[in-house]
Structure 1
């Protein structure tokens, strides 16, 4: 491979881009990737344009602004080039909840358990499983480190938008997701897995927007950090080869990826990355055990979880009530943490099978024998199944 020629092509394209959209370039092999990125590293000082190249090691790729991909794609070392498209958190209209409204629901020395966590029977298993030592990367808008319900649940993270800064949340969505998964306040709310450890990965800005390259970098950080679960409460409509490569690599490393199906109320299509087979795809349900009207649904869904009017943590020590498949996804990540704390050796496919078999049916109609239609996640049944097999 003439890597020097490719380097000069990249340099010229970046210089000529003049603010054009960034693209993700995947290389044919590890060798091609290593040669190009090493040259980029060596020549950054002499070619200032190369400082805009973003290394995506997990998928053997880079992200950079280019003017025209027609010539670059012809180079034998280049596998594919795609636009580095934007991706958004999935959010329904919100209702701010005052801290006092939560505190009023608690008795002295007790905690408030939101309805969704009660519905999936998570409190029933806390004597046997609370998610201890299970690590969860929440790729989102960051986290409120100072929220009293999260201080015991948060470990180191990363800010992909500004690597010199901690992953502080300037939106609220990431804090809300983290609260549902693992809140553990003395008087506030309790999450599904209150002993699990959240690692916040800030890939989304204050408006809830990110680029695919930021998500890939976030997945890469989670995999290299050896995290058990990655929560991805966001989605996009268009296919991305780079994003698929990232989740496949995470899956092959044993990391469990959980993603929201989307809030379009569609019956046949769900968002990416939830649509990828190696990801746990999550739909949302209402308080009356029905699929939420806003939730995407259908055979592509692996499991449903509560997603309507979900109370959880918010910025500045407050609370908020949100609806969406994002909230449902957080419940599922929490239950998987409970399962892994009982049996850490579980593989993604095993977990998926147990969750589907132990789920509560969402309709009264009987399913044909041998089928496993997705139902509502049920923590007690899932953990009970694991405890029984542990004894045998």
Structure 2
């Protein structure tokens, strides 16, 4: 008797539509197959299935793995089919859910430049955005994002995708990415209550802290919505752009400050620890950063970046997370935004250069939010196509 999967696949191919909730496109020549686990067209779409805290804020997946990739095969229909079939194998193996696996294949500035398509996408090669950090400007062909609450799902998926195992969560592995990509780098990390303290022993870091900073940063009102970051039209409609940075975080220096000072540096001089404890789905923003600079000789991180909100709405959807890669405490800052300029504007506002003339105590690092304890070491830019165009976007037709 035919399996449910094979029957659904035949129906989908005959009707020319996908199972409800599934992406309905495919590389040229690759028949549409049914997926037992519905997946959204937007590769970054998670909010409808994520857990939420008692205030209603989404709780992102707790474990992350980023694979930076370069091509070893030229764009072609065959290569596109290989990529698509390999990723569909992951989708057969896991639910699109926190206890399953979220994944996204993004394409970097190197790929678009090498194929004369950089001018047709809303990104460019990364540029230096600070005056004090030694930033390595990186160019990759692609980025594979893997996220799950179950830490073992991440190495299992990577092993399956690159040919080191023949089954994944009970499903056979028939195609891999190893024929198309070579892995240049792997970045790992975690996000969520209790995880930072499991990885480092720093006096002042509370056992239940979700981030190395000690603060929760994923409040609903401080994040752009998935709708807001979607490219509205054109060949990549429904996709978005991504920026990836690595930021080192000097935790001993950070926790040398008392709690009130840490609050002032992270938020603003208007906040107290008691105020932060009462925050729910947003962080109030007075838009008085220059007044605070003149009065207090210092400003907070949040009040600087909030200045670039549009109609009160943030421009970035942050999927950043803690890391101890290379034995260095830090953050892999992954952000999604409709156009890359939204990230640049946010980072430039965070730099606070415009505040140095307001008080002599404010420098490029000192009394300027959290800049005296963080340093950006790497940057790279990507496009995240809609799922139906995730295999060699704009080059295979």
TM-score scaled by length of structure 2: 0.28
Looking at both structures, which has the greater relative contact order when contacts are Cα pairs under 8 Å and sequence separation is at least 6? Answer: 2
Structure number having the greater helix percentage: 1
